[in-house]
Chain A
Amino acid sequence: MTEKEQQQIFEDWLGQHKALIFKIVRAYTFTVMEQDDLFQEIIIQVWHSVPRFRSEASVITWLYRISLNTAIKWTKKERKHYPSETLEGVQHILQESRMQPDERLVWLYKEIYKLDEIDRSVTLLLLDGFSYKEMASILGITESNVGVKINRIKKQLITKSKKYDHYGI
């Protein structure tokens, strides 16, 4: 694969599927500095992954696999000790959308963030409609393990959504 081809594919992927990366960044980070760092890390890994991509998997599945693996590794090993507050005057590459976010969505992200790294991945894939088989393939765990995790996560989220009815859920 030539570099030009790699760049073309990379641009197509980023143009069409950046929302997917944004979701993962949001679910795995707390501060804006962390968001910038993880976003850049994922972008770098996606770029390197382009020549390895085979059409057996869909692009979305591939991007999820690369991005989630990067996010999990980043959380476990490379997460730096950023200040909990945003530094004043520092500009960030990722800017939150100016539209007022749905409070229920904010709540949902907070709940996802409270889960461990693997459960967060399962939840994101579940919410985006992946099958058990696809989730097992992306995360490298068995389908039965995925099933167990999903049952637990669903129960947990449904129970919490009832408690937080003041969010309008």
Chain B
Amino acid sequence: MEFEELRKIWDAQNDQPLYAINEKAMYNLILSKKKQAHHITNISELLIIIVYFITGSFVLGRNLFDQSRNISMYLLSAWMLMTALFMLVNRTRRIKRTNQFDRSMSGDLDDAIAVAAYQVRISRIMLWNIVPIGALIVLGLWEGGKQIWIVIIVLLFFALSYYAGGWEHNIYKRKQRELEVLKKKLDSAG
């Protein structure tokens, strides 16, 4: 058989697409992505609230107990407690917003995109939040008369945290973009 005959067989498929897009399966995919987005957001919100609340309370309690005059540490505890409160308020607003989306394929996807966008925004805020916290801790250590190498190690630790936070932020951004593409695909299939 010659190659031109193979090409004819190949060309014949142009009249009959190989696949059709299964909308039900796409809906299930959207639901699973939505669940995943909610789960990740839920866990990270709770972690931020718990960690910042406990750490802020501990630093404040320790300062009060020691009758410390280290202003930076008081500021640090206040900043951490404010961060926990900020996160709590945002979480409450997010949960309220979730109920506003209709329970259609498109509504579920809009919900998933909104959660992903929220996650991107929160991760960006938390990334920048490392800067004041790191600065206050370093100042506190400095005021407390700690040795310079301890201050340097702490600074390095925060630089590393900032880098890891940026990496995490990019993951959320990618997830958001993927969901947006899925939305376009859904719109173009409809």
Interface residues of A (CB under 8 A from B): 7, 10-11, 14-15, 18-19, 22-23, 25-26, 35-36, 40, 43-44, 47-48, 91-97, 99, 101-102, 104-105, 108, 127-129, 154, 157-158, 161-162, 169
> Which secondary structure characterizes the binding site on chain B?
helix
> Of A7, A96, A97, A102, which contacts B9 at CB under 8 A?
A102
Interface window among B20-28, B46-54, B58-66, B146-154 = B20-28
Taking CB as reference atom, which chain A residue is nearest B189?
A: A14
Interface residues of B (CB under 8 A from A): 1-3, 5-7, 9-14, 16-22, 24-26, 28-29, 177-178, 181-182, 184-185, 187-188
Are A19 and B18 closer than 8 Å at their CB atoms? yes
Apart from the given pairs A23-B13, A97-B20, 6 other A-B contacts in the complex at a CB distance below 8 Å? A10-B184, A91-B28, A93-B29, A105-B13, A161-B6, A169-B9
- Tell me the minimal C-beta distance from A11 to chain B in angstroms: 4
- Tell me the minimal C-beta distance from A38 to chain B in angstroms: 12
> Of A44, A99, A162, which contacts B181 at CB under 8 A?
A44
Number of A-B contacts (CB under 8 A): 94
In the complex, what distance in Å separates the CA atom of A93 from the CA atom of B29?
Answer: 8
- Tell me the minimal C-beta distance from A61 to chain B in angstroms: 17
Closest 3 CB pairs of A and B: A91-B25, A11-B188, A161-B1
> Of B3, B14, B21, which contacts A93 at CB under 8 A?
B21
In the complex, what distance in Å separates the CA atom of A95 from the CA atom of B187?
Answer: 19
